[in-house]
Structure 1
């Protein structure tokens, strides 16, 4: 049986070696963590490097970078106005729809933060979108398109809605405490174009946070690919791989970075795709209107090129928050547990350094700690949507960055996590991990209560 050794410092100056067994065919022995604590790395509290915002309050996710020059503020705020704009304003020259999911970017990304599933089965989803596929998961649905539009303007009918209910899944920690998880069940209702065929694949996806995206785009491709191990050559049970997707403006295939399955290669395309799919707005990137097979000869994009650039400028520079209590003993203990049980195999605890980005000194040459490798990983049947997306299979998801995760409650007033918001708190999110993360999840359930609490304290500090 093969093991991996972590050399971890202890606050009193001693050192301990922890053997973390990587054989996935059997359960690991209980970890004897003792006085385990992680080293405090210089600058690790600055999740987004010099851009990091020291604001732990309700506006922590929507701030401009701390290193941005004052003369750039007007351009940043011009982009924010487009982000906040309600496109159902009939007095404006352009409005959303007629079928759409949300009337503004901010509707789903409230205060640039994270969405959540509906509070009751009969509530129309607001920040939980349902992507649809054609037969066997390929292409888009022939009648409903790429996503189900649950809202409409006057004179039109919504394509339908989705009722979300949950079944309880119970379990027990090795130390004896019980836990309960929620497994979602989805029922499509009031479908205006007829029922969905048997076997149609769909993917529920809650709106992710909207900060730090310019930094993620600035990570050198080679740095991300260095963590690929699709054949699991080191036999640690982790086989992350990159998604490869097409850039629609030049037809080139590039590394996917954005979206729950890394299905968008650039921030510009990610923004334009959201305008198109979520709000029904055309741009120079996605010029087709709803139901069109080709743009008409005199078609003018509903979002002007100038406004698109302003929105991309804003989205590129929304800053990541600075950590809190990063040097507290319990936090450091939790960080060490996080690394020792294997969470850091995908949610990398080591920093990336961004490359030079022309015109954007704020995000250039920054040491950042997103706690993600941005690669695809098989997360098991429990979290599977069964829907391929680019190279991503129906069980694979991009490792979501963890920076700012401890501030979701302060900013958005909830603690719903994972791609569909099923987890009601961070612990439930950990417990849902399967596939490549199954061994880390199992190790978590075998930890004593104090170490589980320490790990959650560390996550709250991010």
Structure 2
């Protein structure tokens, strides 16, 4: 197939560039013009993804397969890549039929452009990586969120011809000013989301939570971290008195039909890459699988096509997409021997950012080369933390309460502008750069935020240089 040969040529080009970049990265200056003295740093940090690390700094930095794959595995990865980019259309269709009838987007890559982060859309009701979780107070039989009657757990704002979308979204903003110690100020924008034009009336006790799609590289490594490793960082009662009390989320796993530790999603409400993929197919695109065999709007007046063609996606394709998401390479850290970056690394630790964004983890055994027994640098603990009222969505999800969010991995964050052309950060893109993202931190991270505000402009820039090096 022509696609396969073209894609393989692209991959070989990326790998050649990666080798060249490795040599070009040698010999960077340890001393900057700012007079900082280089401090000791972990030289292994450059290999952020262990054997999966890639050294591209171009727009393909998030889209390159792990260098550890065999030829057969690379073929499987590329098959998954093809499916990840496939756009679905209205059924019946010979190829990629079955979208909707209600949905949010039409392909995986549309929400995860270049396998990276969605920007906040200029048109909040257009096709984008933005959506709203929804529920009502209470817990389902497994402790999860209770679906909003007539809507489910996600609001679909798109529909195929002849059907009605569940609703449309609106957003307004309230400015919030943060003043730094040097007298400079930063204006944050607090978003307020509302639902309009719903196909049926929405109950007054509805709970909403906005979402933007995050990057998908490195997921296989995060899945391979042993549960015991994650639990060593859990401190629910803050027994060490440092003000930080991360906790694990435990969620229902649809494959094993057991409760498992949550790792994925903004509130760690999904335990596996498999479930993350098939849930996205179903909730985001209305595509059914053997795991979610019913249409998104099944039983709703506006969302049941009645074609009887479910499941619409084979287990083979699901397996390819899951493998693809597991085996994308992780971009290497950059500039780790520069004095400014090293000073920023020191500050990152001294103001306790590293207490939640834990730099180093070790993966356990894996059947996929490059994922097992790797030292990686994701800068996350994958645990839930109270992030304060400013970021609260007031919507529980399993053990996550309305103020708690999972610590996002920071690896690759400094390449977001290059890959995706924006820096819309946090769960709904409200932060437009790293400084704003830090200033939104509260709760357990309040002390770190205040310490950041007290830094001199030179030290703030050093800290930002370090974060951008990840």
TM-score, normalising length from structure 1?
0.88
Determine if the alignment matches structure 1 residue 92 to structure 2 residue 95: yes
Which residue in the other structure is 2:54 paired with?
53
CA contact (8 A) 1:124 1:162 kept: no
Determine if the alignment matches structure 1 residue 75 to structure 2 residue 76: yes
Q: Residues 355-384 of structure 1, C-alpha deviation per residue, up to 9 Å, x if partnerless?
A: 1112x1121111100000000000010000
Which residue in the other structure is 2:314 paired with?
304
Which residue in the other structure is 2:432 paired with?
424
Residue 127 (structure 1) aligned to one of 126, 129, 136? 129
Determine if the alignment matches structure 1 residue 198 to structure 2 residue 204: yes
CA contact (8 A) 2:283 2:296 kept: no
CA contact (8 A) 2:36 2:339 kept: no
Residue 256 (structure 1) aligned to one of 259, 262, 265? 262
Which residue in the other structure is 1:316 paired with?
326
Aligned-partner Cα distance in 2 for 1:444–1:93: 49
Aligned-partner Cα distance in 2 for 1:135–1:390: 12
Which residue in the other structure is 2:400 paired with?
392
Which residue in the other structure is 2:8 paired with?
none
Aligned-partner Cα distance in 2 for 1:282–1:128: 21
Q: Residues 133-171 of structure 1, C-alpha deviation per residue, up to 9 Å, x if partnerless?
A: 024684010011111111111111211221222221112
Runs of 5+ unmatched residues, structure 2: 1-29, 140-144
Residue 355 (structure 1) aligned to one of 341, 350, 364? 364
Which residue in the other structure is 2:288 paired with?
282
Aligned-partner Cα distance in 2 for 1:35–1:407: 25
Which residue in the other structure is 1:171 paired with?
178
Q: Residues 214-271 of structure 1, C-alpha deviation per residue, up to 9 Å, x if partnerless?
A: 0000001111000000000000000000000011233211110000000011111111
Aligned-partner Cα distance in 1 for 2:216–2:386: 24
Which residue in the other structure is 1:21 paired with?
none
Q: Residues 158-206 of structure 1, C-alpha deviation per residue, up to 9 Å, x if partnerless?
A: 1122122222111211111111111101121221223x22231100011
How far residue 95 of structure 1 moved from its aligned partner, in angstroms, is 2.4
CA contact (8 A) 1:136 1:199 kept: no
Q: Residues 80-107 of structure 1, C-alpha deviation per residue, up to 9 Å, x if partnerless?
A: 1110000126452622111101100011
Runs of 4+ that moved beyond 4 A: 34-38
- After TM superposition, list the pairs within 5 Å mapping 1:152-191 onto structure 2: 152-191=159-198
Question: What RMSD, in angstroms, separates the aligned Cα atoms of the two structures?
Answer: 2.2
Structure 1 residues 157 and 446: alpha-carbon distance in aligned structure 2, compared to 1, 3 A threshold: same
Which residue in the other structure is 2:114 paired with?
111
- The size of the alignment, in residue pairs, is 427
Aligned-partner Cα distance in 1 for 2:164–2:273: 32
Secondary structure in 2 matching 1:44: helix
Q: Residues 370-401 of structure 1, C-alpha deviation per residue, up to 9 Å, x if partnerless?
A: 00000000001000000000110000000000
Aligned-partner Cα distance in 2 for 1:292–1:108: 23
TM-score, normalising length from structure 2?
0.87
Runs of 5+ unmatched residues, structure 1: 1-10, 13-33
CA contact (8 A) 1:37 1:335 kept: no
Secondary structure in 1 matching 2:186: strand
Aligned-partner Cα distance in 2 for 1:255–1:83: 26
Secondary structure in 1 matching 2:79: helix
CA contact (8 A) 1:144 1:193 kept: no
CA contact (8 A) 1:124 1:161 kept: no
CA contact (8 A) 1:125 1:161 kept: no
Aligned-partner Cα distance in 1 for 2:37–2:348: 11
CA contact (8 A) 2:388 2:444 kept: yes
Aligned-partner Cα distance in 1 for 2:171–2:134: 16
Q: Residues 410-442 of structure 1, C-alpha deviation per residue, up to 9 Å, x if partnerless?
A: 011001100010001000000000000000000
How far residue 43 of structure 1 moved from its aligned partner, in angstroms, is 1.2
Aligned-partner Cα distance in 2 for 1:207–1:269: 15
Determine if the alignment matches structure 1 residue 445 to structure 2 residue 448: no
Structure 1 residues 38 and 387: alpha-carbon distance in aligned structure 2, compared to 1, 3 A threshold: farther
Structure 1 residues 416 and 98: alpha-carbon distance in aligned structure 2, compared to 1, 3 A threshold: same
Aligned-partner Cα distance in 2 for 1:132–1:197: 11
CA contact (8 A) 1:136 1:200 kept: no
Secondary structure in 1 matching 2:390: helix
Aligned-partner Cα distance in 2 for 1:200–1:184: 18
Q: Residues 272-322 of structure 1, C-alpha deviation per residue, up to 9 Å, x if partnerless?
A: 1111111111111222223447x99x8641110111101111111011111
